[in-house]
């Protein structure tokens, strides 16, 4: 595996020799990125923390000056803002490079760490020019890693994917050259539909329909990214928005494909065996049910499954399906979140796991009836 050695430094902006009035150095403003844990990050309470921050504070103590931390500061603009004197220094695990040395004065390095390529286990074992041809590599813009790929792989450089945390499974398609109206609502909690390039941010509220519109001119087709801008829950940071603006003919084609997909209905292929259903059911249970019903079906917010009459009595099979589809009191309906196949699998799992062993195999068609 290829290694590259990073020298990490504190950057201090040298005061211009011509400065007439000596700056009062009793207070030093030091910026950090706040997006590189464990070196620098923002705590849930909104404070900057991490190794870099600790070093900054320790330096301040040793020098007998007050350190004011500035951040989070975007990496792309961290040096330009220093040059514009928004702060006096940067401490952000920045590598010393010849290019950066032309603009800023570095201190001695305060730590050293190797960088590595990472791929899914078994996917890639080497990272030679040959091996990474045609691959997509996620890399942060304007980092030495970004530069390393370009410098060392030349024209064979892999496609760099700066958007790897912004892409979604189901992008929204809209046509260019016409006014498009978005009807914005939410299914669970309040989110916010934020697309900076379109100049809008709109609350998505369950039970309300809000409206925004855009008109992307012809010739500006492409992919536009946004994010949920409302602190909506523990997965808030992972709610990207992806809008593909395409020419009218391409849009018509996409609509036709969607209609065809919708008409063919959900996948109702029966499970070949109880085992097959149990495997899928176990996954879905862990992801969607364990939180309330307990990892071993012991119950919690939801009722226990282990040994319950509801699970083991064959007369309750249909009632079991109905609860999943329609919900009951605090038990949410899963009709919109799981496919008939997934619901069938999870019910099969409930009725055979945790010592229930009824042998019941629920098929997707039983759920879709
Ligand atoms: C947000 C918490 C929550 C989640 C998530 C949840 N449940 Fe429930 N579930 C409940 C509660 C609460 C009840 C009791 C409902 C009542 O009071 O009638 C319940 C009841 C049930 C019952 C009826 C049991 C009985 O003995 O009457 C079934 C079946 C069930 N849940 C299955 C599931 C499955 C399968 C999943 C995952 C796909 C799931 N639940 C996810 C909270 C939850
Ligand atoms: Cu959200």
Ligand closest to the CA atom of residue 311: 1
Cα(191) to ligand 2 centroid in Å equals 4
Q: How many CB atoms lie within 10 A of CB 217?
A: 10
Classify residue 89 as left (phi > 0), alpha (psi -120 to 50) or beta.
beta
Domain 172-263 falls in which CATH fold?
Immunoglobulin-like (2.60.40)
Ligand closest to the CA atom of residue 290: 1
Q: Take residue 6 and report the two structure tokens written for it.
A: 């990073």
Cα(324) to ligand 1 centroid in Å equals 8
- Say what the pLDDT of residue 18 is: 40
**DSSP β-ladder status, 4-12 and 89-95:** antiparallel
- Say what the pLDDT of residue 204 is: 94
Q: What is the pLDDT of residues 9-28, one digit of tens each?
A: 444 443 433 444 557 788 99
**In the chain, which segments carry CATH 3.40.190.10?**
4-115
Residue minimizing CA distance to atom 26 of ligand 1: 310
- Taking 50 as the pLDDT cut, the residues of the chain under it are 1-20
Instruction: For ligand 1, say whether the CB of 329 is within 6 Å of any of its atoms.
Output: yes
Q: Distances in Å between the alpha carbon of 78 and those of 30, 49, 72, 238? A: 11, 17, 10, 25
Instruction: For ligand 1, say whether the CB of 341 is within 6 Å of any of its atoms.
Output: no
Cα(289) to ligand 1 centroid in Å equals 8
- Say what the pLDDT of residue 2 is: 36
Residues with CB under 5 A from ligand 2 (ion): 191, 228, 232, 239
290, 323, 324, 329: which to mutate for ligand 1, most atoms within 8 A of CB?
323
299, 303, 358, 362: which to mutate for ligand 1, most atoms within 8 A of CB?
303
**In the chain, which segments carry CATH 2.60.40.420?**
172-263
HSE toward the beta carbon, residue 314, CA cutoff 13 A: 4
Cis peptide before 234 (omega within 30 of 0): no
CA dist., res. 209 & res. 205, Å (int):
7
Instruction: For ligand 1, say whether the CB of 328 is within 6 Å of any of its atoms.
Output: yes
- Say what the pLDDT of residue 253 is: 93
Q: Is 240 helix (H, G, I), strand (E, B) or coil?
A: strand
Instruction: For ligand 1, say whether the CB of 331 is within 6 Å of any of its atoms.
Output: yes
Pick the CATH number of 274-368 from 1.10.10.60, 3.90.550.40, 1.10.760.10, 1.20.1260.10: 1.10.760.10
The pTM score is 0.45
CA dist., res. 294 & res. 346, Å (int):
14
Cα(354) to ligand 2 centroid in Å equals 34
Instruction: For ligand 1, say whether the CB of 302 is within 6 Å of any of its atoms.
Output: yes
Instruction: For ligand 1, say whether the CB of 290 is within 6 Å of any of its atoms.
Output: no
Question: What class, spelled out in words, does domain 4-115 have in CATH?
Answer: alpha beta
Cα(7) to ligand 1 centroid in Å equals 54
**In the chain, which segments carry CATH 1.10.760.10?**
274-368
Residue minimizing CA distance to atom 34 of ligand 1: 289
Q: What is the pLDDT of residues 84-124, one digit of tens each?
A: 999 999 999 998 888 889 999 999 889 887 888 888 888 88
Instruction: For ligand 1, say whether the CB of 334 is within 6 Å of any of its atoms.
Output: yes
- Say what the pLDDT of residue 160 is: 66
Cα(132) to ligand 2 centroid in Å equals 35
CA dist., res. 39 & res. 91, Å (int):
10
Residue minimizing CA distance to atom 25 of ligand 1: 310
Ligand closest to the CA atom of residue 189: 2
- Say what the pLDDT of residue 215 is: 94
């Amino acid at each position: 595996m290829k290694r590259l050695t990073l020298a990490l430094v504190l950057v201090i902006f040298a005061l211009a020799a011509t400065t007439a009035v000596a700056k009062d150095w009793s207070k030093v403003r030091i910026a950090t990125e706040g997006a590189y844990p464990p070196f620098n990050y923002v705590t849930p309470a909104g404070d900057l923390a991490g190794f870099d921050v600790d070093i900054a504070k320790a330096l301040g103590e040793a020098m007998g000056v007050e350190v004011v931390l500035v951040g989070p500061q975007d990496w792309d603009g961290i040096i330009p803002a220093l040059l514009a004197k928004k702060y006096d220094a940067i401490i952000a695990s920045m590598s010393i490079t010849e290019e950066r040395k032309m603009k800023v004065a570095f201190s001695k390095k305060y730590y050293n760490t190797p960088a590595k390529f990472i791929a899914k286990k078994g996917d890639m074992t080497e990272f030679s020019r040959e091996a990474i041809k045609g691959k997509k590599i996620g890399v942060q813009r304007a980092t030495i890693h970004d530069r390393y790929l370009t410098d060392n792989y030349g024209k064979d450089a892999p496609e760099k994917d700066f958007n790897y945390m912004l892409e979604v499974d189901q992008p929204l398609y809209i046509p260019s050259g016409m006014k498009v109206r978005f009807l914005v609502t939410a299914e669970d909690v309040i989110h916010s539909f934020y697309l900076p390039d379109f100049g809008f941010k709109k609350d998505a509220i369950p039970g309300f329909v809000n409206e925004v519109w855009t008109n992307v001119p012809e010739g500006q087709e492409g992919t536009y990214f946004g994010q949920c801008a409302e602190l909506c829950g523990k997965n808030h940071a992972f709610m990207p928005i992806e809008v593909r603006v395409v020419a009218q003919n391409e849009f018509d084609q996409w609509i036709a494909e969607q209609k065809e997909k919708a008409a063919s209905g959900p996948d109702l292929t029966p499970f070949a065996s109880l085992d097959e259903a149990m495997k899928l059911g176990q996954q879905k249970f862990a992801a969607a049910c364990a939180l309330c019903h307990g990892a071993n079906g012991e119950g919690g917010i939801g009722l226990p499954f282990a040994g319950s009459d509801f699970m083991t009595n064959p007369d309750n099979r249909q009632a079991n399906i109905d609860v999943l589809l329609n919900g009951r009191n605090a038990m949410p309906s899963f009709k919109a979140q799981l496919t008939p196949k997934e619901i069938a699998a999870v019910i099969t799992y409930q009725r055979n796991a945790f010592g229930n062993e009824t042998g019941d195999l629920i098929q997707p068609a039983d759920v879709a009836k």
